[in-house]
Structures are given as structure tokens and as C-alpha cells.
Amino acid sequence: MLKDKRTSTQPFITYTGMIWLLAAQLIVMLPFTTSLPPWLLAVVVLAAGWRLRVLAGKASQPKTLLKAGLLLLGIAAVFLSGLRLPSLEAMSALLLLGFAFKAVEAVQQRDALVVILTGYFLVALHFLYTQSIIAGLYGTLALIVLTGALVGVQQTLEELTPAQQVQFNFWIAGQILLQCLPLMVIIFVLTPRFQPFWSLPLPTEQHTRGILDRMAPGDIEKLSQSADLAFRVSFKTERPPQTDLYWQGLVLQHFDGREWRQFATEQDPEQLKWTLKHEYSYQEHNLKTQGMAYEYEAIYEPSGQNWLFTLSPTTEVQGEALRAADYRVMAKQPLQSPLLIRAVSRPASIRDLELSPKLRALALQLPSQGDNRSRELAKNLYAAAGDELTYIQTILKRFKEQAFFYTLNPPLLGETDTIDGFLFDSQRGFCSHYAGSFVFLMRAVGIPARVVVGYQGGEWNKAGNYLAVHQFDAHAWAEVWLPNQGWLRVDPTSMVAPERTEQNLEAALKKEGRLLEQSVFSSRKFAWLNSIRQQLDRMQYGWQRWILSYDSATQAQFLDKLLGGLSVLKLAGWALALLVCLALSGLIWLGLTRQAHAEALEHRLYRRFTERLSKQGFERRLDQTPSEFGALAAQAWPAQAEKILAFTATYQTLCYECDEPQAKQRSSLLRELRRLLSQLP
Amino acid sequence: MLETWPPQFAHWFKPRWPRTRTLTLGQRNIFILPSKTALALLGLIAVLFLLGINFQNALVYGVCFWLFALLIVNLLHTWRNLRGLSITAIHIQPCFAGEKAVLELELACPPKQQKFAIKLAWPEEDAVQVNLMTTQTVRVKLSHSTQQRGHFNPPRLHISTHYPTGLAVAWSYLALEITGLVYPAPAPKHQQPYPTNSLDSTHPSGQTLSGGSSDFGGIRSYQTGDSPKQIHWSHYAKTGKLNTKVFVDYASHDLWLDWANLANSGIEPRLSQLCRQVLDAHQAQQQYGLKLPGLVIPPSKGEAHQARCLQALALFGVEHAQG
């Protein structure tokens, strides 16, 4: 059992260490292939393969010139693969390239450490692209493998085969990281959250999706094909009835004859933010609150856009959001990761008893010409109705009673006179057609009106107690302004297809039967499949709600719940209690309580045996084995020779031949040891 | 070489690292600090924290805090890897001055525990790394260079570990109560003619080795077992008593390695010379004795005799107090 292994002063990476490193690199790089050039993966395999061949003695280490050439080639390839230069992607791609190339250079342990630390960084970097549960689990796996590599590259256990070593290191890494988990959670919960210090380039990979800032006939039905989630809402108070769930997103005021837009000129998000802040800012005194107040939290999926969707009007909003004069709520930044806001809405409130001239002008805008049949119709009907309210009802009645159909695939309407085309010719349309033409008919007779786009309804998740709103819930409706009543919501679609608002899109299109055939609703057909889907969705919601959206507000709320009123003293008390618990469990875990049994019984008995003999003058030298010592002592003390030899033999059997499971044999041997010891003088 | 603790801290160090044969590492005598790698990781953690803030990304925060927790928890693991380990000095192989003295140590870990990548080192001298994985004890050898003959007291030994992640280093010192022998460096071979003056006339009586066969040594009364060839038959015929003739070999044929007979002067050169002679005589399988001022080792041969002679040379004039 003599060990005489010398270690060199310059620690190198061993073959198994290199395999660990390669595995860690592959695992770290794999998820990047969806957003970055996949050939980077080939680079790491080739680089590590080369290094492994060098270690096996089958190739020589590449020359510096060659390495530099390959690196330049790689950098050129990164730029040629179409990544914009000052972007997160380009930075990630360059980092990954260096990471991949490092494999061929990983000779000393120091190189391995560089690779592993970079790997940790890349794991975190990938979370900027996706934060799903799957990504989280995968990231955890990557962390374990990286930590395993950290263990593996620094020492070799010759006692184990390479496969066993991998398993062992994996186990060690997993164990340590698991032990880190409670501490990590505590730090996660207690660390203060700060506002961003400076703005960094965001991943451009996510394209904008969901509702756009304009609406041409047929735009919204495209969304109805998508089962992607838009946002989830959980209510603190009771939930409004399904027919009242109108999630206002943005208001479209400007009509150019075909398309509805927010303003006459196109504005990018920054300009729009400026306009809304300065020209159309939210005025609290315009709102006369009344009726039921609904309090809720909504988490919006990353859409790459600023739109948020709330029940209008909101009286309170918390989070990274601003409000405007049209009662919309808008995120301050385009949504690249899930955003949580808390809001209170009072849908029955009266909005804008007085309409400012600016808003009135916006709400009455129409193109100077076109759609003449519709203008004619409006004038005639308004003259017949006499007042605004009757006129509105006449129009709605017309939609209901005439041969108007609600359909996902309406006929094309051409470039001009789209309102005429719909109202008089096709009479088939989706919500955008109804909302657009309704507002047109209102404006044609001088009633301020506007198109609102957003979502209507949502799917109630009973298990999770929240509402999930999907892209196919996208909807467009109208608002008209009446003196003394302010803005009123009017949904012309509900006249044609009441099921749309009472139930959902699926019910409204039952006659058509088209959606059902497509995958959008397929999992909703079977009850059991549906409940599994809802459970999964609920898990994701919890993940988003409690982990991804853990911000300073959630933190304060959580701590408040935990501590019952936040105070420094209480916080300190909890921290102290936690520390004491940690320290205690640490001490127990470190085995301080095991000290008493540090020496096995047989060794203690043997020690007593040698003490007895030393009283007789037979000292055991440290380099004597028990059998050598036993033989000598027996020779020197013939009277007790038999017992000495028997004791030594039994002790050796216990130490070297008795396996752990044979407890019975063990205890009988121990009894024998005790008996022999007691017989010695 | 013995106690090299800084004097102002000696009162703190001494009870923690007593000079003993066996030292068990525990809370009292293990140092632990984060390593350089840990500092690099700390830098990375800071970068990740900034990344988490700027992108408001909870999972980046998660990775950041997890790595921080790893730094902390790993300290305990590294510490535990050293804790409970007991180190026993077994013995030091004697060596010649200028060669390496080899210390044999036994490392034992508490039952049901495993220890990994334990590094034992004399800085600048020798280092060994061992695992205690399948066995509870393991023996290791470490060498240390020697300059002077006499006693060898090994300097403080460093015992350290980076296991498992290398993010922390735990270390301790071992001041072992064990003494080795350093023989004088043997003089170069045949520097001086082989001593032939040893057929010693100054000791006419010499020493007799009974049971010999060459010279007649006398007559004694018969004892059972005496060879019939050696019975003094003529005396038996005269007296009727059985007597035995006894033959002896004279020890004066043996080689005496004598301090007084050496040509060179000075203590160390003479000891070196004698050392060479002892080695040569042993190799030639000759009987030899050693005479030093104040010490005579009677002639004999074999490993034990050689060791005894070499020890006498090693400790010639060395105070025994240290031994």
C-alpha cells in the first residue's frame, strides 16, 4: 500500500480531464446553436479532438502561426455569417469561438479553469435568449457538468476507471451544487434588486410578435392561427365576467382608407413614448372612477413590443409601465423578457367627460374621399335615427339582422374602398372588419370614435387560479364618445357572433369548423389532454410569477408576508436565526458529533491489548504489524503465548477479512476479542 | 531547523502543532483560504451580477448566486477533506550525508470517510499526492536532502488539499517527533590502500571463537554430543576418564577498522574513510570490527553489524540529548 506518486509543479490536464472539458464545452455550446451559427459546435469538436490526439500521442500540438490563422478564419466566418456587429449575438459568437478554440490550447490546468469560468458565463448568457423552465433545467445540468469538470481537471483518482471517475465527479458536483441550493435561494430572495445601470444591446433574435401597431382588414385573423401565450393574469379581487374581459392594448385613431394606425405619421417606440408622455399624457382628473375595482397581476410574454394589455381604465399601475390619455398602458421598454405589472382597473368608470379638441380631432379623422356608399348610408341612417345612441343601435342591429357573417377567411377587399367592399359586397369578415367599418360609420356622421385592439376573454386555469390569454384571443373593437357618458366600448363583432365574447373564438367558429382541424385547438378537444396542458401551463406560470418576475416589488411583498411588516430589526433577527441554523446544520453535517466513534471498536480493543502488553515490558514499535508484534510478544511471554496469538489472529480477521454486511460474524468476533482481553493479566 | 515558528506567535502555534509522532487534523490546526481560482470566480460573479441587473434577468441572478454559494459551501468541503486525517511518522530510512533521507508516513482517515488529493510536501524538496479512497490507511514516502551526518530531524511538513473544486486551499503543518540517522558520506572507493595491517600482533590472545577446527585449544571433560573423533582416546586409556580435545579459531584473523590507523587527519575525513571501509568490508563479506576513540565494536558480520558500525560513525561525537 505504498504510494510514491510525484506530482509535477506544472499541473497539466490529463486525458480524462480533457474529456470532461470537452463534454462541458459541448453542453454549454449546444443551446446556442438555435440562435448562433451552428458551425461553432464543429469548431469545438475539432479543437478538442485535436487536443485529445495530442494527448494520445498521435498528433503534435499546433504551431502558433496555425492557431492564429485558424482564429482569424473563425472571426472572419463569424462576421460573414450575417451577425450585426454591435449586437449581443456578435459578442456571444466571438466569445463562443474563443471558447471553442481554447480546447486545442487547453494544456495546463490554468487553461481548463479559463474554459470552465467562461463556460459558467456562457450558461448565464444563454438565459438572455430564453428563460423557459426547460432552459432553466438545462442550465442546471450545464452547471453540474462544468462543476464536475472543475473537479475532474484538477485531480485524478487512479483507483477508479475513467468511467467511474466521470460518475464519481458528476456525483460530487451534483452533491455540492445541491448543498448550495438553500444558500442560493436565500441570497436570491434577500439580495436587493437594482434598476439597470446602463442599457445594453438586447438579443435581436426575438422578432416582434403579437398585435402590431396597425390594423388592415384581415390582420387579426392571422393571429387567431397562433396558440402562443400572450399573457397571464391572476386576480386578487374577484374576476370580471368573461364578456367584460376586454384587454385594451392600443388605440388606432388614424384611417388612411385601408389601414388603421395610431397616428398620422409612423412613430418608432421611442418617438411614440415621447408623444404619449408629452402630448397625450394620462390626466387623472379626466377619469371619474366608479363601480367595481379589479386588482390583478399580469405577466406578459416577451413580444419585442411595448404593448401591454389591461382592462380599461386602470386607476393604478405598478411596474415598468406608463399610461396615456387614451387609457392605454404601455411598457417603458420593448418586452424581451417576461414583464410583471400590477394594476387596478375600474371598467365602469367614466372616461373623458370633456373631450379635448386635440383628441376630438383625432377621433373624427377620415380620409378626404373614398367609401362614398358607406358615407351615404351613414348620413341616411343618422338622419333617420335622430340621436347618437339610436344611430349606434341601428348600425349594430344592421350587423345582427342583415346577412353578415363571422369568418376567418373573408374574401379579399382590394386596396381602396375597403369599407364599402365589406359593408355592401362581401359582408363576411373578422373582428377587424366589423370594428373598422363601425368606427368609419360613426366618424362619417361626426361621432368621435376609435378602434381598440387587444385581446378579449382568455382561458381560465382552475388549478392555477389565473387567466391565460393566447394570441388567438386577439380582438378588435370600437369606442365611441358620447356627451355625458364619455368613451363607451362597443363591440360590433358580438352582434354577429355573440359566442365570440360569451365563450371564445372556437365556439364562434364552430360552424366553420376550420380551426378545429388545425393544431391550435387540437389539444383542447380532449378533456384529459386539456387538463395536462393546463397543469403544465400552471407550472410555467408559477415559474414566471415567482422566479422570472422576482423584482423588488415581489421581494418586498414576499418579505412582508414572511416577516409581517418589514423592519430592519426583524430582518436582522431572521438573518441571524438563519445563520445559526446554517451553522448548526453545518456542524452536524461536518460530523462533529461523530467524534466519539472515530475509532472502531476492534481498534480500541487492540489498543487496550497493546497497553496491557506494554505494562509487561513488550512495547509495540510503530513499524511492527500486529502479527509481527504478536509473534514476538508470544515468544517473550510464553505463559500467555496462546492468548496473545489468538487475540492477534482474531483482530486481523476482523480488520481484513470481515466485510461490513456480515454483522453477525463481526459481533461474535468482537465478543471473542473481549473475552481474550479479559483473560490477559 | 526544529522550531521555526515566528517567535511572537509561537505561543499560539506550539499547542496546535505539538511535536508528536501522530497528529490528527481538526478545527485547531487547519487553515483555509479561497484560492486564486476563487478570486477569478468572484470577478465572474460580479460581472454576472451586473449582467443580471442590466438585463433584469432572474436566471442570470440565479447562476450568479449559485456560483457564490458554491464558493462558500466548497470551503466546508475542502476543510472536511483534511479534517480527521491523522498522520503518523513511521520511520526514516538512514542515509549517507548528501543523499536523500526517506521518511515513511502513514495517513489514516476516520472510518466511513474518504480523503482525496492530499498533498504532503517539504517545500523545495519533495511532494506526494495521495487519495484515501478504498482503504483507511495509506503509507507514503517523502525524501529530504541531508548535508551533515548525525541525527536528522525532519523540518515541518506541509499538508494541503485543493479538493474538490480547487476554489479553496486548506493546509496545515506537521512537526513530527521522529529522528533519522545520517551516516557520514563514504570516501571515494580505494582512495587509500585496503588496510592490511590488521593481522594484529598487539593482541596475542585475541579472542577465541570456540567450535573451530584449526588450532588445538585444550582438553575438557566429555559432554554428550562431542564428536568421537575429538575424544582424547590415549588419555582415556591411561585414566579411564573420557576427555575431549577442543579446537579453536583465532579472531585475530579478522579485519580491524581502526580510527588510529588512518592516514588522513580530521574527524570528518576519518569518519568518511571508515564508512567506506565498513561498506567495502561488508560487501566483501568479511568479518570486521570497528575501533573508535572510546568505542570498540567487536568483529562480526551481517546487516545488523554493518548498521551498528555505521550508526557509531554517524553519531561519533554527536550529543545524545537530541536522540
Per-residue pLDDT at A523: 54
Per-residue pLDDT at A174: 92
Indicate which of A544, A548, A622, A658 best probes the interface with B, i.e. most B CBs within 10 Å of its own CB. A622
**Among candidate residues A147, A320, A606, the one with its CA nearest the CA of residue B166:** A147
Asked whether the beta carbons of B275 and B187 are under 8 A apart, the reply is yes
What is d(CA B72, CA B38) in angstroms, rounded to the nearest whole number? Answer: 10
Asked whether the beta carbons of A114 and A25 are under 8 A apart, the reply is no
**Among candidate residues B265, B124, B244, B127, the one with its CA nearest the CA of residue B192:** B265
Q: Does A549 touch chain B (CB under 8 A)?
A: yes
Better-scored residue on pLDDT, B4 or B28: B28
Contact B63 A179 (CB under 8 A): no
C-alpha distance from A196 to closest chain B C-alpha (Å):
4
Closest residue to B58, CB basis, from A194, A548, A591:
A548
What is d(CA B81, CA B60) in angstroms, rounded to the nearest whole number? Answer: 31
**Among candidate residues A286, A299, A161, the one with its CA nearest the CA of residue A229:** A299
Instruction: Give whole-number Cα distances, B46 to A28, A165, A177, A401, B61, in Å.
Output: 20, 32, 19, 67, 10
Contact A139 B80 (CB under 8 A): no
Q: Does B116 touch chain A (CB under 8 A)?
A: yes
Asked whether the beta carbons of B251 and B209 are under 8 A apart, the reply is yes
pLDDT 10s digits, B244-267:
776 655 545 678 888 888 877 788
Instruction: Give whole-number Cα distances, B63 to A139, A340, B311, in Å.
Output: 9, 21, 64
Per-residue pLDDT at B2: 45
Contact B66 A177 (CB under 8 A): yes
Q: Is the ipTM of this complex over 0.90?
A: no
Per CB-CB distance under 8 Å, the chain B contacts of A591 are: 80, 84, 113
Q: Does A201 touch chain B (CB under 8 A)?
A: no
pLDDT category at B203 given cuts 50, 70, 90 is very low
Per CB-CB distance under 8 Å, the chain B contacts of A128 are: 51, 55, 57, 60
Contact A128 B84 (CB under 8 A): no
Over residues B15-34, the mean pLDDT reads 83
Q: Does B13 touch chain A (CB under 8 A)?
A: no
Q: Name the 3-class secondary structure at A222.
A: helix
C-alpha distance from A587 to closest chain B C-alpha (Å):
10
Cα A565 off chain centre by = 30
What are the grid coordinates assigned to A153, written together?
Answer: 481537471
Range name among A182-186, A205-209, B31-35, B205-209 with the lowest pLDDT average:
B205-209
Per-residue pLDDT at B73: 92
Per-residue pLDDT at B196: 46
Per-residue pLDDT at B202: 42
Please say if the pLDDT value at position B59 is more than 60: yes
What is d(CA A321, CA A343) in angstroms, rounded to the nearest whole number? Answer: 10
Per-residue pLDDT at A120: 95
Per CB-CB distance under 8 Å, the chain B contacts of A120 are: 41, 44, 48, 63, 67
Closest residue to B128, CB basis, from A6, A120, A586:
A6
Contact B140 A2 (CB under 8 A): yes
Per CB-CB distance under 8 Å, the chain A contacts of B53 are: 193-197
Per CB-CB distance under 8 Å, the chain B contacts of A121 are: 44, 47-48
Q: Does B242 touch chain A (CB under 8 A)?
A: no
Per-residue pLDDT at B3: 53
Closest residue to B133, CB basis, from A121, A159, A547:
A159
Closest residue to A622, CB basis, from B88, B117, B119:
B88
Residues of chain A with pLDDT under 50: 1-9, 205-206, 516-517, 519, 593, 596
Contact A184 B68 (CB under 8 A): yes
Closest residue to A155, CB basis, from B21, B52, B117:
B117
Parse chain B into domains and list their residue ranges. Answer: 14-183, 208-314
B-facing residues of A in 592-611 (CB < 8 A) are: 594, 597-600
**How confident is the prediction for chain B on average, in pLDDT?**
81
C-alpha distance from B191 to closest chain A C-alpha (Å):
36
What are the grid coordinates assigned to A299, written together?
Answer: 405577466
Per-residue pLDDT at A55: 79
C-alpha distance from B202 to closest chain A C-alpha (Å):
41
pLDDT category at B198 given cuts 50, 70, 90 is very low
C-alpha distance from B318 to closest chain A C-alpha (Å):
25
C-alpha distance from B275 to closest chain A C-alpha (Å):
27
Q: Does B46 touch chain A (CB under 8 A)?
A: no
- Phi, psi values for residue A9, rounded to 5°: -75, -30
Over residues B213-229, the mean pLDDT reads 69
Per-residue pLDDT at B197: 46
Q: Does A14 touch chain B (CB under 8 A)?
A: no
* Residue A681, preceding peptide bond in cis (omega within 30° of 0): no
Per CB-CB distance under 8 Å, the chain B contacts of A552 are: none
Q: Name the 3-class secondary structure at B97.
A: coil
Closest residue to A200, CB basis, from B55, B163, B164:
B55
Q: Name the 3-class secondary structure at A448.
A: coil
Closest-CA residue of A relative to B21 is: A622
Q: Judging by DSSP bridges, how do beta strands A339-345 and A294-300 pair with one another?
A: antiparallel
Q: How many CA atoms lie within 13 A of B251 on its CB side?
A: 16
What is d(CA A166, CA A159) in angstroms, rounded to the nearest whole number? Answer: 13
pLDDT category at B135 given cuts 50, 70, 90 is confident
Q: Does A155 touch chain B (CB under 8 A)?
A: yes
Contact A127 B60 (CB under 8 A): yes
What is d(CA B158, CA B145) in angstroms, rounded to the nearest whole number? Answer: 16
* Strand locations in chain B (E): 22-24, 31-34, 86-93, 95-96, 100-108, 115-122, 126-132, 137-145, 150-152, 157-161, 168-174, 180-183, 208-221, 243-250, 255-258, 288-292, 295-300
Closest-CA residue of B relative to A598 is: B110
What is d(CA B154, CA B146) in angstroms, rounded to the nearest whole number? Answer: 10
Contact B165 A154 (CB under 8 A): yes
pLDDT category at B10 given cuts 50, 70, 90 is confident
Paired strand residues for B20: B176
Angle at which helices A162-190 and A568-589 pack, to 10 degrees? 160
Parse chain A into domains and list their residue ranges. Answer: 15-190, 214-364+449-528, 372-444, 599-679
Per-residue pLDDT at B323: 35
pLDDT 10s digits, B148-163:
888 888 888 899 999 8
What is d(CA B232, CA B243) in angstroms, rounded to the nearest whole number? Answer: 5
Paired strand residues for B129: B119
B-facing residues of A in 612-641 (CB < 8 A) are: 622-623
Q: Does B110 touch chain A (CB under 8 A)?
A: yes
Per CB-CB distance under 8 Å, the chain B contacts of A584 are: none
Q: Does A7 touch chain B (CB under 8 A)?
A: yes
Contact A150 B166 (CB under 8 A): yes
Please say if the pLDDT value at position B212 is more than 60: no
Contact B58 A181 (CB under 8 A): no
Catalytic residues of A: 431, 475, 491
pLDDT 10s digits, B86-124:
999 888 888 999 888 999 999 998 888 888 889 999 888
Contact A3 B55 (CB under 8 A): no
Please say if the pLDDT value at position B24 is more than 70: yes
Amino acid A502 reads E
Q: How many CA atoms lie within 13 A of A454 on its CB side?
A: 30
What is d(CA A396, CA A390) in angstroms, rounded to the nearest whole number? Answer: 10
